[in-house]
Every structure is written in structure tokens, then in C-alpha cells.
Structure 1
Amino acid sequence: MQKMQRIRKVGSISNELVKKSREAALAAVQIFNNPSITFKSEIFIVLIIIAWTYLLHAYYRKLEIEYRYFKLIGVRKKFDKTSKGAFKFWELERCLNDDLSPVDSAASKNLRFLIGLRHEIEHQMTSRLDEHLSARFQACCLNYNELIKKHFGEEFGIEKHLSFSLQFSAINTDQWNALREAPGLPKNIETFINDFDSELTQEEFDDPKFSYRILFVPKTANHKGQADKVIEFIKADSDLAKNINKSYAVIKETEKPKFLPKQVVEKMHEAGYLSFSMHHHTELWQKLDAKNPSKGLGTQVVDNWYWYEPWVKQVTQHCLDNSSKYKKPPNKKKTSRT
């Protein structure tokens, strides 16, 4: 790993980067919580990516790791520069790719999702992102707060400057269903989200560092004088949490597309592989040990096994590689006349 040239004191630039990073993160959350702003998700994504980029630059600066792009000419570095002569620094994705990145796998996947989403939204207007992606935005904020305090001190934490947003009315089930069913997400955004999620294992998808989900239940204090909090947190291993998760599982499971084996075979038929049968499908998953939970290709729901999108892609590739075998129409048995 190349060491940085000491143009200025490492500490002074690192502290300046942390300060700007923190301000960008605070601005991102404050804008998202502002009820008068309708372009909030897009602004949040841009600002939080800047916040993370500056934070990782500060981290690498602190370790004296060069985070500017350069080429080695002999033993000398030639730094890449813009047309105006400014240094080209690592973008967030390059920071995450470095071997010494302090961002763990789940938090990294959360950021890579936001980076990909930014690419989709930066050139066209979007709508209704807020309620679809707020869990991932929340996870991103918590991951950021954890990292900045871990590497730069508790005093840099941003939780003391933030509070839960208040709203003027409760949302009942009918209202929430109407929100979810209302049109909004552009096709390119919906496709990006589905493609990104389909590549995750179930464990990665459920990780709170990727998407932080909270179930809200109206609650009344039992006695006068008790703390009256809008949100109350309970331990994940408590009996109450276990019972809630058991009831909530049905809703949670709908978040990733799932397919019965019969549906996978039907998809192959629709793609023109008419000779691909259920027998071929069974042989394939057994050969590849595809039901191994560590592979995250499917899940057992009650008595049925459901496959995720990555398995459908593998089957499609298998059929493509063996198209001469599966493109043939299935043989029909001749019936003898009596």
C-alpha cells in the first residue's frame, strides 16, 4: 500500500474531512425528515454518499494510505488530474473495494445498493421512493454513526442531534395498503431493486445493517407517570419479539420473489426450452446441492420449497448451455390403434 506525500499535516486534513462528512450526513437526515420537501430520497442518497466518501477518505488519510488515483512511472507517482488540474480522489465504491476498508460486508452491500440506485435516478425524475426504501436509508445512517464513533471518537456521533419524525395522523392498514399499491416506482428503479435483492442470500437480505426494519404497534402506558415513548425497543430474543416475528414472517417473506419448482419449469418452457422437465430440474438441483441453506438459493415455507431469482437464472443458463437438448419438442408416445 503506497504512503501519502506529506503536503499538509495528516491530522488537520483528516479532521476537516470528518467535519464535512458529519455535516453532510446531518443535512441528509434533516432534509429527509423535512415534511415540506418532496425530493427527499434523491437528496438523501446524494448527500449520504458524499458523507460516507469523506468519512472513508478521512480514515485512509489517518492511516496514511494514498487515496488519490495515480500511475507509477518507474518509481515515481504520476497523479491523475481533472481537466482543471485537481487531483482525482477515490469514489465511494473504490474506497469500499480496498483491502483495508473498515466497512463490514452487510454495511458495504447497503452502500453499494445506494450507489447503484443513485446511478439510476441521477438523470431522470423519480417518485415514491421514501416508503419503499426508508428501511435501507435507516440502516445506512446507523452504520455511519457506528463507524464514525468507532474510528474518530464518541463525540462525533450524530444520534444526539436527531430525533424521530412526528406526523399529524396515524396510518391504518387500509391507508398503508393504498400507499403500497399506488403506482410510483419507475420500471428501471423497480428492476434495479429486484435484480440487486435477488443476488443476496436470505441472511444478507435480513441483516439489519443492510435494511433496518421496525414493526410499529400502538401502545398505551399501563400506569400514569410511566415513560410515554412513541417508539419502544425490546430485545430481539425476548418472548414478545419472538411472537411478533412469528406473526410478521408472512409479510416479511413477500419481500423477495419466490417460485415453486413447477413455476421454474414453466419459465423454461416460456423461454423455448420445451423439453426441460421437472425430472431435469430435480436432477440439476441435486447435482448442484442447490437446496443447501448456505447457498441462499431458496427457502422452505411450511411444506413447500420455493426458489429465489438467482436459481432461476442458473437454470436458465443451464438450459442455454444445453439448448440443443432442451430446444427439441418433447417426444410424444404413439398410441396403438386397436
Structure 2
Amino acid sequence: MQALVNVGREATINSGRITETKKDATIVAAGDDEVEFFKIRKASYDQKTGLNLFDHERLVRAREAMILAVQVFNSPSMRFKAEVFTMLANVAWTYLMHEHYERKGVKIVGRDGRSLLLSQIVDRHDCPLSKGVKDNLRAMKILRDDVEHKLLGRADSKWLGLFQACCLNFDKAMCEIFGAQLTLSHELAFALQFAKLNFDQVTTLNKYEIPGEIDAIDARLREGMTDTQIADLEFQFRVVYTLDAVTKSRAHFQFVQPQSAEGKDIRNVLVQHKLADHLYPHKPGDVVKKVVEVTNAAFTQHNHTQAWRKFEARPRNGAAQPEHTNRDFCIFHAAHGDYTFSDQWVQKLVEVCSDAQQLLELKSFKL
């Protein structure tokens, strides 16, 4: 009895508690049906994740929906990959965020009986997801809405990076909010498995023109986004392949970590190909002005200094290597010895200044 009661409990009981209960005449004994359901409920715990089919139904469904989305996409016999993936991924994310808000005490069902839509959730000020994740989910919604009304043809591989990022973002968000034991990494070694690559086939495929309707959808996915936002790995996952100098029979692919020094250098070549003045157009005073215009917050030049030091956007004055900046936010101009900032930096400060607690923490940061 003690072992059965303790299944799924964080705070376990000992045999003494059972004895106390038996001697307490005020406690009414459970009926046969209640005892039977109690046994069924206790048997429904997943020992690996700790989830219970009755107590954590949304999280169970969220994980299964994402697993199904990936399995369908990876299945060689399935033809409607993009269509099914976008719909199931939307279900997975909706269940996940509903569980988050339910635990926060936020009503997820309105007076009309409808629950919060995922598109409404990502626009909420208290949404715990990052900008890159939100951008990815907005792109997924565009694709999901279009597949309900149009035939997309064989365009699955065109949005593989979006789908891959969606899977990785989901696993990361679920683990951060509800615990690392819920990770899908045990069920899915790779979120979306890569097909065996043949350079001749890939080259031939890329020669074909993309249908106009697909190009139009693709343009809508990136509408209003900066180059930095498009390059965000949480928006669209990319893998860089390099070939080692070995014999043809032994040639193989090498995966480069995006955050490694080599990966950042490659990213600068592939993505940051425009002039620095175009990618980092804002001087410190311009940043302060733009943040104040958007948020109406009391944000000063001093607060901006606190911000770039707190978030390590750039090194301090007089640093031996002034060019060692966070390229997402800032760049050093050797010609005139100063720093300019990106649109992404402005957006980050807007998000910080829009949250009273974050703004207070920033202003409390010691230089």
C-alpha cells in the first residue's frame, strides 16, 4: 500500500502515516470504484518522464503530437509532409502553452467557449518564448493556414529549416518550463532526420524553378523581418557542411557547431554579407531615442551603458580586443574607433523596457 501511494509523489509517506490513517475514525473509507480508479491512475505514470495520463494530459498530448509530426515527416510512405507536420506541430505547441498558462492561473477559455489560440499566445506580453521562437511559430501558422486551402506540391524540403527549428524549440521550451525529464531526445535522436545527400541530385533539384505560389508563401514567412532575425537559429535551423581533404572514397561531412568560433566565422561569411553600416545602423544615442519612442520608458544613455555591459554586447572601453562583440547586437568600427548597434539590439531593449521587473533589474545593474 505504501509503495502504491508513493508512486508519482514528490513528497513520499512512510508506514507510520498509514498506521495513523487506519486509526483515525473520522476518515471515511473509499468505495470500490474509487479504489479501482486510484489503482488505474497510479499505473498510468510514465517512469521516465513522470507524466500521468490523467494528471498531465496536455503535456502527454503535446509530446505525442510532436512525435507524430516528426514520424510522419520522416516516413517514406507519406506524401503530405509539410501539411501534416504544420498542423500537428501547432497542436503540440498549443497544448504546451495552455498547460503553462493553466499552471499560472491564467484563464485559457473565454466566454465564447474558445480556448486561447497559439497566434494569440505568442502576441501576449507574458509569453515566455523568445523572439526567434515566436517568429518561427508565426511562420508555421502561415504555412498551416495555407495548406488548408492550397496544394503545396513537393515543397517539403524548402521549409526543412523552419520545421527543424520548430522541433528543437519545442523540446527546449518544454524542458525549461516543465523539467528536463520531458525531453524528446530519447524518442527522437534527430528532430527531423536528414536524407542521404547526393551532390548531383541536390544540384539538379536546385536548377528547377520554384512554383510562384510557393515563392509567394516563402516571401510572406519573412515579411518585415531583418537579416539578423532571419539568421536566428530559433527561427530557421541551418546546418553548414564542410568536406575534409581525404580521398573520394572516404569523404565525409563535418558538422560545425553554430556557436563555435569556426561556426561564427562561417556564419559571418554566409549571412553577414552586407555592409556593416547596413546591419548595425544605430549609434548609442539613436538606440536610446528609439527605445523611448516605442516604450515611453525612462531610459537614458546611462541605462544603455548598463544594458550593453549586463548583456555583454560589447567589451569595455580600452579593451585589448575591442572587436570582440556579440555580433547579434553590436560591431566595432576600427576606422573611427566606435560601436554601432543592430535592430535586434533595439528590439531586445524594447522588450526589457516593456517589462517593469526587467527594467528595474537593468537599472540596478552596477557598472
Bin of the TM-score, shorter chain as denominator length: 0.5 to 0.7
Q: CA deviation at 1:146?
A: 0.7
8 Å Cα contact 2:241/2:256 also seen in 1: no
Secondary structure class of the residue paired with 1:161: coil
Secondary structure class of the residue paired with 1:124: coil
| Matched ranges for 1:71-150 at <5 A | 80=112, 87-150=113-176
8 Å Cα contact 2:161/2:238 also seen in 1: yes
Distance, in Å, in 1 between the alignment partners of 2:87 and 2:177 is 23
8 Å Cα contact 2:53/2:60 also seen in 1: no
Q: Against the structure 1 CA distance between its residues 231 and 55, is the aligned structure 2 distance closer, same or farther, given a 3 Å change threshold?
A: farther
8 Å Cα contact 1:136/1:212 also seen in 2: yes
Distance, in Å, in 2 between the alignment partners of 1:105 and 1:52 is 15
8 Å Cα contact 1:139/1:212 also seen in 2: yes
8 Å Cα contact 1:127/1:184 also seen in 2: no
Q: Against the structure 1 CA distance between its residues 211 and 126, is the aligned structure 2 distance closer, same or farther, given a 3 Å change threshold?
A: same
Q: CA deviation at 1:151?
A: 1.0
Question: Which of 263, 270, 278 is the aligned partner of 1:241?
Answer: 263
Q: Calculate the aligned-residue CA RMSD, in Å.
A: 3.4
Distance, in Å, in 2 between the alignment partners of 1:100 and 1:116 is 23
Q: CA deviation at 1:161?
A: 0.9
- Name the TM-score, length of structure 2 as normaliser: 0.55
The equivalent of 2:217 in structure 1 is: 192
Could you say which structure has the greater relative contact order, defined with CA pairs below 8 angstroms and 6 or more residues apart? 1
Distance, in Å, in 1 between the alignment partners of 2:115 and 2:164 is 27
Unaligned residue ranges in structure 1 (runs of 5+): 1-10, 71-79, 81-86, 222-228, 255-288, 296-338
| Matched ranges for 1:1-338 at <5 A | 15-70=56-111, 80=112, 87-164=113-190, 165=193, 167=195, 169-172=196-199, 174-185=200-211, 187-218=212-243, 232-234=255-257, 236-238=259-261, 240-242=262-264, 244-245=266-267, 248-249=270-271, 293=281
Q: Against the structure 1 CA distance between its residues 219 and 201, is the aligned structure 2 distance closer, same or farther, given a 3 Å change threshold?
A: same
Distance, in Å, in 2 between the alignment partners of 1:137 and 1:253 is 25
> Percent identity among equivalent residues?
26
The equivalent of 2:333 in structure 1 is: none
Q: CA deviation at 1:200?
A: 0.3
What number of residue pairs does the alignment pair up? 227
Residue type of the alignment partner of 1:116: I
8 Å Cα contact 2:122/2:134 also seen in 1: yes
Distance, in Å, in 2 between the alignment partners of 1:149 and 1:104 is 15
Residue type of the alignment partner of 1:23: E
Q: Against the structure 1 CA distance between its residues 61 and 12, is the aligned structure 2 distance closer, same or farther, given a 3 Å change threshold?
A: farther
Secondary structure class of the residue paired with 1:217: strand
Q: CA deviation at 1:219?
A: 5.1
Q: Against the structure 1 CA distance between its residues 291 and 206, is the aligned structure 2 distance closer, same or farther, given a 3 Å change threshold?
A: closer
Cα offsets for 1:61-106 (capped at 9, x unmatched): 1111001122xxxxxxxxx1xxxxxx31111101112222111111
Residue type of the alignment partner of 1:156: L
8 Å Cα contact 2:242/2:253 also seen in 1: no
8 Å Cα contact 2:240/2:255 also seen in 1: no
Cα offsets for 1:214-247 (capped at 9, x unmatched): 01235599xxxxxxx9764436332x33554465
Secondary structure class of the residue paired with 2:225: coil
8 Å Cα contact 1:52/1:144 also seen in 2: yes
